[in-house]
Amino acid sequence: MPSTHPLELVEILSLVVAFLPLRSLLACARVSRVWYQACIPCIWNYLELNDPSKLKIGCIPQEYVALRFVNLDSLELHAPDTRTIQFIMEHPTVTTLELRDLSQDCQPAFWDALLGFRNLRSLV
């Protein structure tokens, strides 16, 4: 069985990248899938909102569906998918939802789930 280099183990790599600045994390995340998996939690930790009530994001990685932003009321998503529904469920304070780059194959269940959000006042 071939030996594995310690920096090929996500558990060890995660400990190393925790001390890197954001710019280095972004570069390291492009090295490989293993490095990406180790870096992405640290990158999310750097996420700061200018206005803590509004969040603009491309898409939501599966492992971060359960992220919680206190008092989030406005959400802009690009390329929404089923994780969008899960993310919104974790944020009952969201009243405004802006969806960009909708695919033609959005499932009816996606729209049905959106209709179930009682706090949603604006859908753009």
- Kind and range of the H or E run holding 57: strand 54-57
Residues 77, 101 contacting (CB under 8 angstroms): no
Who has greater pLDDT, 1 or 21?
21
15: closest CA among 38, 32, 46, 37?
A: 38
Domain count, the chain: 2
Together in a domain, 20 and 70: no
Together in a domain, 67 and 123: yes
Q: Is the pLDDT of residue 2 over 70?
A: no
Who has greater pLDDT, 63 or 89?
89
Q: What is the pLDDT of residues 6-62, one digit of tens each?
A: 777 778 888 888 888 888 888 888 888 888 888 887 877 766 656 667 777 766 766
Together in a domain, 123 and 78: yes
Give SS3 for 5: coil
Q: What is the pLDDT of residues 89-109, one digit of tens each?
A: 777 888 888 877 766 556 777
Give SS3 for 78: strand
* Residue at 51: amino acid letter: D
Together in a domain, 64 and 87: yes
Together in a domain, 33 and 71: no
In this prediction the pTM is 0.52
Domain housing 11: 1-46
